[in-house]
Amino acid sequence: MDLVSPSTLLAYVGLVIAISVAPGPNVLFVMTQSAWRGPRAGFYAAAGIETANSVYVLFSAIGLAGLIAASGAAFEFIKWAGAIYLAWLGFQAIRSSFLNRETPVLPTGEASSRAYRDGLMVGLGNPKTILFFLALLPQFIDPARPIWSQSLALGAIAVSIDLVVQVLYALAGGALSKALSHKPVKRWFERGVGGAFIGLAVAAALVRRAA
């Protein structure tokens, strides 16, 4: 890639892979969607998350990500909206475990659209995504080369790598479907997932923007 030196590209790809593989809200959401409704739902959840990432790539390229992160009010709004949404997902999972109800079987189209929508919301509300495109991606941009093109290229690489990782997590989550057919396993899985989402909500709420 002429826009980025090979050594810079290699370091950037390694960082993106490490961040994508690390467990977090996106990974947890994709895996649970696959476990509850099958890999197809996980794929759509991943598509929603990558749509959100693509939005932030575009924002980064035109400088809006920096403005959002620099604006305390805007950053706090996005952060708290994301934290509340994660907490709501956690509450829903825990509530479902105590009600001991079967996961409702939705029409394929409805299940897919819901997974996509919720994935989009999880992705947009993740403050770490904003910080990645604000604080980390710019470090790999060479001011002597076209900044707009570099931002889009590096952003596209990040989205592509993360999509592959999320698809793999979706497949892994789908492998849990059979185990979740047993009610006791499903009940404790939902409680564990609910607790994890609430924990991630707390972590998101504690994220601070760069000074």
pLDDT in tens, the chain (211 residues): 567 788 889 999 998 998 898 888 899 899 999 988 888 999 999 999 999 999 989 888 887 656 665 666 766 777 787 678 778 877 877 877 677 655 555 556 787 899 999 999 999 988 778 778 776 787 788 877 887 888 899 999 999 999 999 999 999 888 877 666 666 666 776 777 778 778 877 877 777 755 5
Q: Which burial class, exposed, middle or buried, applies to 144 when counting CB atoms under 10 A from its CB (0-12, 13-18, 19+)?
A: exposed
What is the DSSP secondary-structure string of 44-100?
HHHHHHHHHHHHHHHHHHHTHHHHHHH-HHHHHHHHHHHHHHHHHHHHHHHHHHHHT
Cα gap 71→61, rounded to integer Å: 17
135 alpha carbon, distance to own chain's centre: 18
Kindly state whether residue 92 falls inside one of the protein's structural domains: yes
Kindly state whether residue 211 falls inside one of the protein's structural domains: no
pTM of the complete model: 0.76
Kindly state whether residue 210 falls inside one of the protein's structural domains: no
Kindly state whether residue 1 falls inside one of the protein's structural domains: no
Kindly state whether residue 109 falls inside one of the protein's structural domains: yes
Kindly state whether residue 124 falls inside one of the protein's structural domains: yes
pLDDT value of position 62 = 81
In terms of residue numbers, what domain contains 21? 6-205
Kindly state whether residue 116 falls inside one of the protein's structural domains: yes
Number of domains in the chain: 1
Helices (H) and strands (E) in the chain, counts: 9, 0
Kindly state whether residue 80 falls inside one of the protein's structural domains: yes
Residue at 172: amino acid letter: A
